[in-house]
Structure 1
């Protein structure tokens, strides 16, 4: 039995990037008995249990009052798969006593993310958690990019960990695989469709994006569309930065509906700063853009491994005169990465 320290992915939470990663990994264990364990604190005393098919048990346990049950789950497991450092904090005490085979799916560089947000105490706590994980003798670390692997190798030079790159792909891409041939897309329409998909977090640089949109409203063939789960908050920002008389559509769609929009889109905003958190990342949004032949509109091109692969992009301060065309090269990069993923058997690590 494989014990996953993570919440089980459900349709209601599949918009979340971490949950999409968990769902993607779960496909690799489809014929393996597995338990998903998440933790509750003082407000929830009753243990939650649900079966999902014949092979999956989902538990939410109280971190203290279910002590012996948690110990029994860990004892029965053949390996422990940890999704993100965020799922270590409550389990750290339990893991300390077990010399198990651990798979740590990093997702991101959590201590550095927290420090960037000004949460120095939290960053210090998670640094301790991360150091504990990298001290394990039987450890495999799954990273989304080679850049992330290099970061951890430099940070923990004495670790015995084995590193594996496994890129993140949303479920909708697997469902669409084989159905998306960019080379057959004909550019018969002069309308240039420019999309943004995401929420209003500070690191998304939404205000900069809206300023750039406002500066390019004179191009009558530019069609801007904003897809977000925070419609009201995003709409208020749009109303603040976009002059009256210009309509920018803001809407929310389900993950399975995205591909209909992406198939018609030519460019997409990904305005990430040139900092470590972004330099090692593999944003779900960027993966989707490239797969559908969308050319990213970027602030920095140093995102994950994509600069190394030579992806096509447009600098955000120069989006004048864009053509309505798809990028065959960007689509090819993602198909290459998907092929590389297929060579990795996570269930046997």
Structure 2
């Protein structure tokens, strides 16, 4: 079987390709069932990934319409190079459906979220005539067609699956839930990683971690209100903030918590779980919107695979259900500003407890599980 994996994400600008897409394709391409795997991305400068296990074909970005025309040409000219088109983005689905019908190819739609709703969420405060809002409204109208014309649909959460099946009357049997994945902490002998916990002499403290940005949709103000309350509630709490923009998050945090109680770090994905594993709890809050209700944040898996218990609110995909089923954290239902009930239950996590959480999470949300799930879908298309 020959797989063509198509995404609008770029090697140049989207780190998620390195953390999610490339590891998955490397594993898929090595299976005996798979003859070839070709990754197609849209690039400004035509950067090509050098990889021994799969092929990479960049398409040069030249405007939205022109890019789709170039994609159509590529798919038609390379028709013998694939049996299955696996589409990770919304926009290429329109061309992919045309090619599916012309060439009788199999089509997997793997949207990762509700694209149109995400755009409308981002631009909800702008004027009605905003171009991106208009495009999103148009896509929203044809969204049912994209799902129903696919041979298989991959959703990242059970809530997402139920939403699509109920709203767009998609055949439930062709919908599969495959959450985002993460990897457990792994330290090579040559790693120069230095423990911030021992350096700061926090061995007897409860360390609360936040990994993310300052974007409002990540509810950073609510996160910091929780941390501020914890810092005044008991001296047993300390706080770690992991973000790309260290200076910005330091400035933001300084308005809430004394710097003496905090550690700030910036790590590539491969190092992040190692740093997170020194903590005890991870924070993940979102507001109530359909965008968040169908989501499956990678951060949630990063926390669990690192051995942390997680504190979430009710608005994030299957996260609350997972924690209620496993006991690997707490779900805040209601007021985030008075978390004393949660704080009283929090304690220093033992190494045995962290290993238990990491082991279960890696089994449920590891790369191997994602690989086996995708391979099963491909086999079903034979």
Q: TM-score range by the shorter chain?
A: 0.7 to 0.9
Name the TM-score, length of structure 1 as normaliser. Answer: 0.79
Once the two structures are superposed, residues 102-136 of structure 1 have per-residue CA deviations (whole angstroms, 9 ceiling, x without a partner) of: 11112112222222222642422332453332232
1:42-53 map, 5 Å? 52-53=51-52
Once the two structures are superposed, residues 193-221 of structure 1 have per-residue CA deviations (whole angstroms, 9 ceiling, x without a partner) of: 11101112211111111122222223322
Measured in 2, the distance between the counterparts of 1:58 and 1:154 equals: 37
Q: 1:258 maps to what in 2? A: 272
1:1-349 map, 5 Å? 1-6=2-7, 13-14=14-15, 16=16, 20-31=19-30, 32-39=35-42, 52-53=51-52, 55-62=54-61, 63=67, 64=69, 68-74=73-79, 76-85=81-90, 87-88=92-93, 97-117=102-122, 118=124, 120-128=133-141, 130-136=143-149, 139-159=151-171, 162-170=174-182, 172-173=183-184, 189-218=203-232, 219-239=234-254, 241-242=255-256, 246-300=260-314, 303-304=317-318, 306-307=320-321, 309-314=325-330, 315=332, 316=336, 317-318=339-340, 319-321=342-344, 322-325=346-349, 327=353, 330-331=357-358, 333-338=360-365, 341=370, 343-344=372-373, 345-346=375-376, 347-349=378-380
Measured in 2, the distance between the counterparts of 1:201 and 1:261 equals: 22
Measured in 2, the distance between the counterparts of 1:74 and 1:135 equals: 23
Q: For residues 121 and 19 of structure 1, do their structure 2 counterparts lie closer, same or farther at Cα, with a shift above 3 Å needed?
A: farther
Could you list the runs of 5+ residues in structure 2 that have no partner in the other structure? 62-66, 125-131, 188-201
Measured in 1, the distance between the counterparts of 2:29 and 2:73 equals: 28
* Contact 2:207–2:279 (Cα < 8 Å) also in 1: yes
Measured in 2, the distance between the counterparts of 1:12 and 1:82 equals: 19
CA RMSD of aligned residues (A): 3.5
Measured in 2, the distance between the counterparts of 1:243 and 1:61 equals: 46
Measured in 2, the distance between the counterparts of 1:55 and 1:302 equals: 34
Q: For residues 215 and 52 of structure 1, do their structure 2 counterparts lie closer, same or farther at Cα, with a shift above 3 Å needed?
A: same
Once the two structures are superposed, residues 126-169 of structure 1 have per-residue CA deviations (whole angstroms, 9 ceiling, x without a partner) of: 32453332232x51111222222111111221558711222221
Note the C-alpha offset of 1:341: 4.4
Note the C-alpha offset of 1:7: 6.1
SS for the counterpart of 1:208 is helix
Once the two structures are superposed, residues 251-287 of structure 1 have per-residue CA deviations (whole angstroms, 9 ceiling, x without a partner) of: 2112222232222211111012233322222211111
Q: For residues 51 and 290 of structure 1, do their structure 2 counterparts lie closer, same or farther at Cα, with a shift above 3 Å needed?
A: closer
Q: Which range is displaced more, 21-30 or 253-262?
A: 21-30
Measured in 1, the distance between the counterparts of 2:72 and 2:283 equals: 46
* Contact 1:37–1:61 (Cα < 8 Å) also in 2: no
* Contact 1:47–1:59 (Cα < 8 Å) also in 2: yes
Q: For residues 54 and 259 of structure 1, do their structure 2 counterparts lie closer, same or farther at Cα, with a shift above 3 Å needed?
A: closer
SS for the counterpart of 2:184 is helix
Measured in 1, the distance between the counterparts of 2:42 and 2:371 equals: 32
Measured in 2, the distance between the counterparts of 1:320 and 1:245 equals: 21
* Contact 1:3–1:34 (Cα < 8 Å) also in 2: yes
Measured in 2, the distance between the counterparts of 1:268 and 1:227 equals: 11
Q: For residues 12 and 263 of structure 1, do their structure 2 counterparts lie closer, same or farther at Cα, with a shift above 3 Å needed?
A: farther
Q: Which range is displaced more, 289-298 or 300-309?
A: 300-309
Once the two structures are superposed, residues 236-264 of structure 1 have per-residue CA deviations (whole angstroms, 9 ceiling, x without a partner) of: 2123x225664532221122222322222
SS for the counterpart of 1:217 is helix
* Contact 1:7–1:36 (Cα < 8 Å) also in 2: no
Query: Would you say how many aligned residue pairs link Structure 1 and Structure 2?
Result: 329
Measured in 2, the distance between the counterparts of 1:223 and 1:192 equals: 6
Measured in 2, the distance between the counterparts of 1:53 and 1:37 equals: 16
Note the C-alpha offset of 1:76: 3.7
Name the TM-score, length of structure 2 as normaliser. Answer: 0.72
* Contact 2:185–2:306 (Cα < 8 Å) also in 1: no
